[in-house]
Chain A
Amino acid sequence: MVSPIRYSSRRREESAALAEEMQFHRDQLRQRLTATGSNAEREARIQFGNSSVLHDCVSSVWEWPWFSSLWKDLRYALRTLAASPFFTAIVIVTLALGIGANTAIFSAANTIVLRSLPVADPARTFYLHVIPQQPARMGNSGNGDSSFSYSVYRALREQSAAFHTVAAYVPLGFGNIAVRTGELPREASANMVSGDFFSGLGVPLACGHGFTARDEQESSALAVLSSAFAAEQFGAPCAALGKTVFVKGVPFSITGVVAPQFPGVEPVATDVYVPLQRRAGFNAWGAEVKNYWEARAGGAYG
């Protein structure tokens, strides 16, 4: 049988060919009849239902009833809709709103709930919480029930029976802080992270390497950038390697760039990662209290 795709063009061709053939047939018939003496009945026989005969002939042979009736129904539906434009407009707007809203909500839910963080083993990666509420002297903490003091963090890490990796991150400000790569400073989101942050979680890197436990202990002046931030500041992501970024005025040497699909572990994307620092000014969330961090770190180390 004829494939539906070529159906309508074949059908049109055959229609045209048949029309010509039938016209020829009628002309010949008329010739014969005039030769032998025609009458009204013969003339009627020639003229009767010419177009309907042609139509029936074509459709009886080129039978694909469900297909051609589907097309007819579709055209009828469109004609009816076009006849009442106001109603049609309202329907279209309603559908657009519904579909748009659903798409937006799904996109949000998709990234937050359904798609996991692109780390090595997302099913076994968790944020740690404290129950029931924020411990004492944890004011100035942006994340009330999931912030721990450094000593607690170290203790958790030593208990390796429960966790394969305990990584820590400390946002350097509630929002963006001042960073600078060239002449002009700009704002960016920065975290201090533990030495096992990149290796332990299995964060994909685009180029370079992450930190080590030693970097954390020594509070090395190294930095890892996000792909987007590196590309923005240096042209290409990997062009950032070996360059310097100034975080709160302190120079850090860039040793790695994170792959684009990893947005960091905060609700907003993280641009700059440095190891846990013990300098003045590098307090959790940029707390104003002097020696806030140092006191904590001193306590743990002492």
Chain B
Amino acid sequence: MATASSREDIPQGTLDLLILKTLEREGDLHGFAIAERIHAFSRSVLQVEEGSLYPALQRMLLKGWVVGEWGKTAENRRARFYKLTRDGRKQLARELERYERVHQAIGRVLLPA
């Protein structure tokens, strides 16, 4: 586990992007698994807290980007599994494009001279 100092806050507005991408890559996941995957893929830099994760998931449920279904985990425990919808995939493409644009723009500002 990384120490507290190497953990960074997730930049504003990118949480949705991370969740959608994770679901696209990994298929159906429950809330805890989504947080774990993000943490793992970011090499323990990004830690998603409960208090941010579930509001984000609720918003995405309401907007129809994901659907939630109750199922059983490997240990036979009840959990809600989230799945990307077609609208969710479209939103993911939009968010990725936006992120790329912003990232490039920041890069140009930071380039030397």
Contacts and interface: CB of A to CB of B under 8 A. Distances in A.
Interface of A: 14, 17-18, 20-22, 24-29, 36, 41, 49, 53, 56-58, 60-62
B77 interface: yes
25 contacts: A18-B54, A18-B58, A20-B78, A21-B54, A21-B79, A24-B30, A24-B31, A24-B77, A24-B78, A24-B79, A25-B31, A25-B32, A25-B35, A25-B50, A26-B50, A29-B32, A36-B1, A41-B4, A53-B50, A53-B54, A57-B54, A58-B58, A61-B55, A61-B58, A61-B62
Contacts of B54: 18, 21-22, 53, 57
Contacts of B1: 36
Contacts of B50: 22, 25-26, 53
B80 A17 contact: yes
B54 to A, nearest CB: 5
A61 B30 contact: no
B51 A57 contact: yes
B51 A21 contact: no
Nearest to B52: A57
Contact of A21 (B4, B31, B59): B31
Contacts of A25: 31-32, 35, 50
A177 to B, nearest CB: 78
Interface in B16-62: 30-32, 35, 50-51, 54-55, 58-59, 62
A18 B70 CA distance: 12
A57 B55 contact: yes
